[in-house]
């Protein structure tokens, strides 16, 4: 099923130095990091960012298309969890292995952009930083490197053959290998990128020439909205992609702000249907049904991935610390960092908490190892579930807690939106974001959450 949504587009901030130690409120939450990960509170650098400024809305509007990712054969193939899980396993952790091996279906959110003068449909992802499109006549491979017919990778139209301003100097290539084995690699160069009538000049991008990919047959690449510390550019040949060859660059989001196009703030209100979901850079998305009196403001947390030195002192993922969870008249007050990630379909919680919330469905949801997710009767009674942010309960609609169209053919059961995140890190994905307007205020190193009346 394909829906239509509007997108208000501009940019997010450059990533100046951030520092600061965890204050007492966050101390307990930050000390128990998963293997290979550490956290600390970021410090804002743009003092202009006031509540009055944040209320400003962008004038750049474009359509964002939620796309049924059923053909992708999994819920969240390009999530932050895949990146963190891969690095965490390098240091002996367990990460998000279940996330990246799940075979259930989900929704991806795409925007029509112009890259080097050609229109391409690109997935929007707040959990990654690289912008890339598949190159014309690319190679589609399987997990062992065997060449396959191009249609097997499931891309949409492929127009691009070369970069508008040539290759990077020295030459670099992008290489990403996700936790489930998906691979995207290709040369990097410079082209103008236009999104929402905003044109970023000479943006560094990748034209992927070799992919092992689970596509949706509609999109042809991805726009990453995260920070330079998560970019994946490497010097040398296509086979040289160890950390010693990694070169950080300015991703699309950062370039927009450094070129003075918009202020360092953006917001997202994604929809499950064809109403008024938006992505707005430079201010709040002008969506209806907002309860501004219940706005939650949380500190932005730096998520440091040990094998990636740049993440130790710079923004990486958009991470916050909720006050806890409310479900079935029960409140869990353990404070744990969560990544807010539009590239992830489900919410990934600590194992015990995920078990408890899924047990509150009637009948109780059961864990299916083949999917790495919980399933229950498709007509189950859904419990009340809320994330507690800044003392405010943000309820997740029952519609978003049970995917009644995602049915396991063997059992006839439907998938829930609460998944087991193992040892972490943990994620607030689309199932949560569909119920709020999320404001990413990089200038103040804060995130704001405004509930939407969308039951």
The mean-pLDDT minimum among 39-48, 169-178, 247-256, 342-351 falls in 39-48
How far is it, in rounded angstroms, from Cα 264 to Cα 253? 9
| Torsion, Cα of 396, 397, 403, 405 (10° steps) | -160
pLDDT at 273: 61
- Active-site annotation, residues: 125, 341
Residue 176 CB neighbours (<10 A) = 23
Higher pLDDT, 70 or 301: 301
Class of the CATH domain delimited by 24-50+289-451: mainly beta
Residue entry with tokens 């007509």: 379
Span 394-405, average pLDDT: 93
**Average pLDDT, rounded, for the chain:** 77
Grade residue 241 by pLDDT with cuts at 50, 70 and 90. confident
**Is 345 exposed, middle or buried, given 0-12, 13-18 or 19+ CB atoms closer than 10 A?**
buried
- As given in the structure block, the two tokens for residue 19 are 């520092």
Highest mean pLDDT of the ranges 11-15, 90-94, 170-174: 170-174
pLDDT at 5: 26
Span 314-326, average pLDDT: 82
What digits encode the pLDDT tens for the residues 331-359?
Answer: 999 988 898 888 778 899 999 999 999 99
* pLDDT reading at 143 higher than 70: yes
pLDDT at 68: 60
Higher pLDDT, 40 or 59: 40
pLDDT at 103: 30
The Cα diameter of the chain in Å comes to 59
Residue 353's contacts (CB-CB under 8 Å, 6 or more residues apart) are 325, 332, 334
pLDDT at 285: 79
Span 60-68, average pLDDT: 54
Grade residue 76 by pLDDT with cuts at 50, 70 and 90. very low
Strands 5-8 and 131-141: unpaired
Span 298-304, average pLDDT: 79
Residue entry with tokens 């990778």: 153
H/E segment holding residue 222: strand 221-224
Grade residue 425 by pLDDT with cuts at 50, 70 and 90. confident
| Torsion, Cα of 110, 114, 120, 122 (10° steps) | -30
Strand partners, 159: none
Higher pLDDT, 273 or 283: 283
Higher pLDDT, 176 or 298: 298
Residue 104 CB neighbours (<10 A) = 25
How far is it, in rounded angstroms, from Cα 71 to Cα 151? 12
* pLDDT reading at 400 higher than 90: yes
Could you give the percent of the chain with pLDDT greater than 70? 71
Span 193-210, average pLDDT: 91
Angle among Cα 437, 443, 445 to the nearest 5 degrees reads: 70
Strand partners, 335: none
């Amino acid at each position: 099923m394909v829906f239509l949504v509007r997108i208000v587009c501009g940019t997010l901030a450059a990533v100046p130095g951030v520092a600061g130690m965890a204050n007492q409120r966050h101390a307990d939450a930050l000390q128990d990091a998963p293997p290979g990960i550490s956290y600390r509170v970021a410090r804002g650098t743009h003092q202009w960012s006031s509540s009055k400024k944040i209320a400003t809305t962008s004038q750049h509007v474009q359509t964002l298309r939620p796309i049924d990712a059923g053909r992708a054969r999994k819920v969240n193939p390009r999530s932050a969890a895949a990146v963190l899980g891969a690095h965490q396993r390098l240091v002996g952790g367990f990460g998000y292995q279940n996330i990246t091996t799940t075979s259930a279906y989900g929704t991806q959110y795409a925007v029509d952009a112009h890259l080097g003068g050609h229109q391409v449909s690109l997935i929007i992802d707040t959990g990654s930083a690289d912008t890339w499109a598949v190159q014309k006549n690319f190679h589609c491979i399987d997990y062992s490197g065997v060449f396959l017919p191009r249609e097997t990778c499931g891309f949409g139209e492929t127009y691009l053959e070369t970069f508008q301003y040539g290759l990077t100097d020295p030459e670099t290539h992008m290489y990403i290998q996700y936790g489930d084995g998906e691979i995207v690699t290709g040369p990097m160069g410079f082209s103008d990128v236009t999104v929402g009538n905003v044109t970023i000049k000479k943006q560094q991008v990748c034209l992927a020439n070799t992919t092992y990919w689970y596509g949706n047959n509609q999109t042809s690449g991805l726009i990453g909205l995260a920070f330079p510390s998560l970019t994946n550019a490497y010097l040398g040949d296509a086979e040289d992609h160890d950390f010693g060859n990694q070169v950080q660059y300015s991703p699309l989001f950062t370039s927009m702000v450094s070129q003075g196009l918009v202020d360092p703030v953006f917001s997202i209100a994604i929809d499950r249907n064809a109403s008024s979901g938006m992505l707005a850079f430079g201010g709040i998305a002008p969506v209806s049904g907002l309860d501004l009196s219940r706005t939650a403001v949380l500190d932005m947390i730096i998520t440091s991935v040990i094998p990636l030195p740049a993440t130790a002192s710079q923004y990486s993922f958009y991470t916050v610390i909720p006050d806890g969870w409310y479900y079935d008249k029960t409140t869990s007050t353990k404070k744990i960092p969560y990544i807010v990630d539009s590239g992830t379909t489900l919410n990934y919680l600590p194992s015990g908490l995920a078990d408890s919330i899924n047990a509150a469905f009637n009948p109780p949801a059961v864990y299916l190892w083949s999917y790495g997710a919980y399933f229950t009767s498709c007509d189950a009674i859904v419990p009340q579930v809320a994330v507690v942010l800044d003392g405010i309960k943000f309820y997740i609609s029952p519609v978003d807690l049970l995917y009644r169209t995602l049915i396991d053919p063997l059992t006839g059961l439907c998938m829930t939106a609460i998944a087991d995140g193992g040892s972490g890190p943990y994620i607030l994905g689309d199932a949560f974001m569909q119920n709020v307007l999320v404001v990413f205020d990089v200038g103040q190193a804060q995130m704001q959450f405004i509930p939407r009346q969308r039951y």
